Amino acid sequence: FFSSVKMGPADPILGLGLAFNADTDPKKVNLGVGVYRGDDGKPFVLESVKKAGGAYPHMEYAPISGPPGFVGKAQGLAFGENSTAIKQKRIASTQSLSGTGGLRVVSDFLARFLPSKKIYVPNPSWGNHLNIFKDSGLDVQRYSYFDASKNALNFEGILKDLNAAPKDSIVLLHACAHNPTGIDPTKEQWAEIINLVSTKQLFPFVDMAYQGFASGDLDRDAYALRSLTETVPNLALAQSFAKNFGLYGQRIGAAHFVCKDAEEADRVLSQVKILIRPMYSNPPIHGAHIVDTILSNPDLTKLWKSELKDMADRMNNIRGRLVQELAALGSTRDWSHITKQIGMMAFTGMSKAQVDRLKAEFHVYMTDDGRAAISGLNSQNVQYVAKAFHEVTK
């Protein structure tokens, strides 16, 4: 029965992790997958999560759209406690299997109900976006995002391409800490993008995988989402708690649909449930319990926010260290973009050939597009990685 099944390629990011695990060199460094590590290089469980994860009320099924307590907290975090859209009960929300599951539920919903199947995705974007949208049956188009010659945002390109997108097209927007470039529009640039999306009647689909991870400030990182919510009649959001709560393997997130009014939100949520029920019936409960417990307890919320800030600060500091080490080694290349970028990723500007050399000669692993997960750097390996970067870019 399976004889005609052909071997498929390994996932470019997760496949890299397998290659890293198989590497026996003690100097090896994994800058492939975007997972936070402490300065000791070890996986990191937040204290707030440890405190919230213990006592457990039950092991029963959650509703199809997740426990209402958790879903309400997820809404508040994304849209803000004082959000009028929340007060007006016009956001249809469901728990999702982390950000990826949220993206998939939203894109399946959009493919089923929106008038246009065209989705404009920034170039570059997180690789899995393309798989998700194609698998949902959407027609993937790209819009310019990055100017490789300047290692900077291609703002004119964004405006030009979105201006040319037909009315009703879906536009994928990274809320903050754009992956892989680490470059976000400024507030002024966001205002122009949002104005364009609104006047051209495009449908914004926001991916927020790094709230709090970009600046250490949850509200600041939600700026674009909240500004959009005040401006456009409808939007969708995929929200992940993998990075900001360090709950990667718990697969905890949410999908939200901002609607015209509460009646529309009820209709939308009914269809979201109809979509989810035959897929996985209802979501896992543990991650939702942890997030809900932390956000329901002021002491735990305070602890969590300070831990989130510490993680964001560590990544910003290690960016600075990397650039300093490169200068100390005598690199004449301009690496300043690394400190200008934010979040978990550094888009180094290195070529595939240089990335291949890093892997083969230095056992430093990163994706072919030159993206390095800064979270894999620490005070023990930053000098070694700087030396490797310098050697392959001389």
Instruction: Work out how close the CB of 357 gets to ligand PMP at its nearest, in angstroms, rounded to a whole number.
Output: 25
In 3D space, the residue among 243, 264, 252 whose CA is nearest the CA of residue 62 turns out to be: 252
List the interface residues with ligand PMP, window 123-152 (CB under 6 A). Answer: 126
- Strand segments, DSSP code E, in the chain are 29-30, 91-97, 118-123, 139-144, 146-147, 152-153, 170-174, 203-208, 235-240, 252-258, 345-347, 364-365, 371-373
Kindly provide the b/e burial profile for residues 195-204, where b requires at least 16 CB atoms within 10 angstroms of the residue's own CB: ebbeebebbb
292: left (phi over 0), alpha (psi -120 to 50) or beta: alpha
Smallest gap from Cβ 103 to ligand PMP, in A, equals 6
Q: Does 229 bind ligand PMP (CB under 6 A)?
A: no
Q: Known catalytic residue: 243?
A: yes
Among 62, 86, 172, 242, binds ligand PMP (CB under 6 A): 242
* Residue choice 209, 276, 315, 358 for contact with ligand PMP (CB under 6 A): 209
Residue 207 interacting with ligand PMP (CB under 6 A): yes
Looking at beta carbons only, is 235 or 386 nearer to ligand PMP? 235
Closer residue to ligand PMP (CB): 30 or 100: 100
Q: Collect all residues with Cβ–Cβ distance below 8 Å to 4 and sequence separation of at least 6.
A: none
Q: For residue 222, state whether it binds ligand PMP (rule: CB under 6 A).
A: no
Using CB under 6 A as the binding rule, whether residue 98 contacts ligand PMP is answered as yes
The answer to whether 253 contacts ligand PMP (rule: CB under 6 A) is yes
240 binds ligand PMP (CB under 6 A): yes
Active-site residue flag, 51: no
Query: Among 221, 243, 335, 359, which one carries the catalytic annotation?
Result: 243
Q: Among residues 207, 221, 292, 335, which one is catalytic?
A: 207
The number of residues that bind ligand PMP (CB under 6 A) is 13
Residue selected from 32, 53, 66, 99 as contacting ligand PMP according to rule CB under 6 A: 99
Q: Is 343 among the residues that bind ligand PMP (CB under 6 A)?
A: no
Whole-angstrom distance, CA of residue 225 vs CA of residue 208: 9
Shortest separation between residue 180's beta carbon and ligand PMP, angstroms: 8
Stretch 355-374 residues interacting with ligand PMP (CB under 6 A) = none
In the chain, how many H helices and how many E strands?
16, 13
Q: Name the segment binding ligand PMP (CB under 6 A); options: 64-72, 96-104, 289-297, 347-355.
A: 96-104
Q: CA-CA distance, 387 to 257, in Å (whole number)?
A: 47
Is residue 210 within 8 Å of residue 225, measured between CB atoms?
A: no
Nearby residues of 113 by Cβ (< 8 Å), 6 or more positions away: 271
Q: What is the largest CA-CA distance in the chain?
A: 63
- Could you give the string, one character per residue 53-92, with x where binding to ligand PMP holds by CB under 6 A and - elsewhere? ----------------------------------------
Shortest Å distance, C-beta 260 to ligand PMP: 27
DSSP label at 327?
A: H
Under the binding rule (CB under 6 A), the answer on residue 294 touching ligand PMP is no
DSSP letters for 330-365: T--S--HHHHH--TTEEE----HHHHHHHHHHH-EE
Query: Is the dihedral angle over the CA atoms 304, 306, 309, 311 positive or is it negative?
Result: negative
Q: How many CB atoms lie within 10 A of CB 57?
A: 9
352 is catalytic: no
Is position 244 an interface residue for ligand PMP (rule: CB under 6 A)? no
Helix axes 223-231, 187-199, angle to 10 degrees: 30
Catalytic machinery residues:
126, 207, 243
Using CB under 6 A as the criterion, which residues of the chain lie in contact with ligand PMP when the complex forms?
34, 98-100, 126, 174, 179, 207, 209, 240, 242, 248, 253
